[in-house]
Amino acid sequence: MSRMVGADAVLRSLEAEGVDVMFGIPGGAVLPTYDAIARGTSVRHVLARHEQGAGHMAQGYARASGRAGVALATSGPGATNLVTPIADAWMDSTPLVCITGQVRTSLIGTDAFQEIDITGITMPIVKHSWLIQDVEEIPHAIKAAFHIARTGRCGPVLVDIPRDLQEAALDFHWPDELDLPGWRPPTKVNKPQVHEAAKAIAHAERPVLYVGGGTLNGDACAELRSLAEAGRLPVITTLMAKSAFPETHELHFGWPGMHGPKWSNLGMNTCDVLVAVGARFDDRVTGKLAAFAPGATVVHLDVDSAEIGKLRHADVPVVGPLKKVLAELVREIAHLREEGAPAPEEWLRQLADWREEFPLRYGSDGDLLKPQRVLETLQALTAGRDDVVFTTGVGQHQMWAMQYLLCDRPRSFITSGGLGTMGFGIPAAIGAKAARPDATVVCVDGDGCFQMTGQEIVTSVLENLPIVVVLVNNGYLGMVRQWQDMFFDERFSQVHLTHQVPDYALLAEAYGAKGFTVDAGDDLEPALEEALACGRTAVVDCRVDPREHCFPMIPGGAAALDLLEWPGEDKESEVITG
């Protein structure tokens, strides 16, 4: 036990939690804590340029490492700038600990300078939050914050600390135990339920493992692989689960939903037993819910009981930590296979045939570089490497990244799924680099996304956290343009950004990074190669054909099997440029 002020207690608590890096920006109400940082801590502080960037960095760190990410900001606008990352972490179940300064306790409720009720604003999007009212609460609150962020279904938490309490003295004592009588996430597995699940799966003719992000959060990727291999079960991973199962594995059959390949959606929607593994039947996966996987028996495995039956009735619900649930299921399935329940070889052949029959396709018309080719080239240049981590923004480039990049190693694909936060990619890549300094971190970004958080390139350069940004620059808010083209009679409304302004390579150079411009197909591979090898932060501006749509596509509200395929060269060339 030692005497110190609240600000020091914050840092001693983070150190006790084993935090090695935090991301933030100082400001008035958090000054005492930054002063404590200046006085010394083993926690590295990465200075972001915008609190949203700091929050996404912490998310990228969390998603790449499996540990909780930490973001630090001041009160008022500092805290509100964290709202988007908190919401993103909420939707994608990312363990995120946000620490914000608050105005002095005597000023709370007076509309003081930079006072905002951040615990109130974030109430619907955090697992829990604390407004510290006594300096003595700080160690317990921070320990509890990390515990809650990481246990059960992962997610964001917030600790709001008034400035005077950061300056108040306390006897620091790191609690051995937490007093959280209401926090009891499931830790055990209901074996009879697992047995029921195993029977349904082992005797299925057309089973599918519909794998969601909970598998990564639950650290259950090895168990998933054992399950797929023991049962010879096909695996389809959602966007959030991309990299949870090796994508070059013979049992991996793509990604479901709005821009998933036709073979994956055929598999999901014609199976007889659908095994949801840490997945939540999101509308982007299911399309029209009533028409999703008709007739399939649903086995739903999740750590969060509130997901069971939320959107689709679960015939066999199993609530528990996925690592344990899957391990138990592996034993049961292996046993049932040994007893003679046949592996679904015919179904696996059917899925493989569909993959052959309905490959991803795109046009080759015109002189402009095709965006899909950028992703194919990036895939070719990184294939087989186990030290590459991808992040993305949100939009067409994200969907192409999902379709064309093959990720074999868990936590090597980090994207904003549920909230769909444009601008997520660059800061998330910086956070991922902090978590995996050995890795080459590549952000596949769009030009629209770049301009939302591109200033964090500075953070990447100055903090020596180099990343490679592969900019799929089509000069448009591409996904919106695609919808306007397809569903709004080609009336392009406020989507044209231009290929040339800003000049992204020059902008990168201005930020101290290396800039490349790729206008023609021949330049693509050398530029990407050099960027990947240079060891510095680099931006490769790939100016691509804005007319390319992302196919296949399930139109909003349509049944998954009513997906639209690439219409072919002829139709494509008729599309008018806006």
Partner 1 sequence: MKHTVSVHVEDKPGALARISTMFARRGFNIESLTVGPTERAGVSRITLRVDCSQHSLEQVEKQMHKLVNVLRVSELAPGEALERELLLIKVAVPPDRRAELMALAQVFHARAIDLGPDAVVFEVVGTTEELESFQELCRPHGIKELVRTGRIGMSRASARTSPRRLSAIN
Binding residues vs partner 1 (CB under 8 A): 119-120, 123-124, 127-129, 131, 133, 148, 152-153, 180-184, 186, 304-306, 308-310, 317, 319
Q: Residue 353: which residues within 8 A CB-CB, separation 6 or more?
A: none
Identify which of residues 127 and 411 has a Cβ nearer to partner 1 in the complex.
127
Structure tokens at 292: 């999703």
Question: Residue 405 Cβ, how far from partner 1 at the closest point, in Å?
Answer: 34
Nearest to 434 by CA among 11, 63, 178: 63
516 exposed, middle or buried (CB, 10 Å; 0-12, 13-18, 19+)?
Answer: buried
Q: Looking at this protein, which amino acid is placed at residue 274? A: L
Identify which of residues 106 and 133 has a Cβ nearer to partner 1 in the complex.
133
Identify which of residues 289 and 334 has a Cβ nearer to partner 1 in the complex.
289
Identify which of residues 308 and 435 has a Cβ nearer to partner 1 in the complex.
308
Question: Residue 532 Cβ, how far from partner 1 at the closest point, in Å?
Answer: 43
Question: Residue 61 Cβ, how far from partner 1 at the closest point, in Å?
Answer: 24
236 beta partners: 210
Distance (Å, whole) CA 258 – CA 559: 10
Identify which of residues 153 and 433 has a Cβ nearer to partner 1 in the complex.
153
Distance (Å, whole) CA 176 – CA 455: 41
Map 57-119 to HEC letters.
HHHHHHHHHCCCEEEEECCCHHHHCCHHHHHHHHHCCCCEEEEEEECCHHHCCCCCCCCCCHH
Question: Residue 158 Cβ, how far from partner 1 at the closest point, in Å?
Answer: 11
Task: Order across the sheet with 316-319: list the strands.
Answer: 235-237, 207-211, 273-277, 297-302, 316-319
Identify which of residues 174 and 183 has a Cβ nearer to partner 1 in the complex.
183
Q: Are 259 and 395 in contact (CB under 8 A)?
A: no
Q: Are 527 and 468 in contact (CB under 8 A)?
A: no
Identify which of residues 128 and 163 has a Cβ nearer to partner 1 in the complex.
128
CA angle 286/304/287 to nearest 5° reads 5
Structure tokens at 160: 């709001």
Question: Residue 308 Cβ, how far from partner 1 at the closest point, in Å?
Answer: 6
Helical packing angle, 396-404 and 371-382, nearest 10°: 40
Question: Residue 124 Cβ, how far from partner 1 at the closest point, in Å?
Answer: 6
Question: Residue 324 Cβ, how far from partner 1 at the closest point, in Å?
Answer: 15
Identify which of residues 35 and 136 has a Cβ nearer to partner 1 in the complex.
136
Identify which of residues 180 and 327 has a Cβ nearer to partner 1 in the complex.
180
Question: Residue 190 Cβ, how far from partner 1 at the closest point, in Å?
Answer: 9
Question: Residue 121 Cβ, how far from partner 1 at the closest point, in Å?
Answer: 11
Q: Looking at this protein, which amino acid is placed at residue 33? A: T
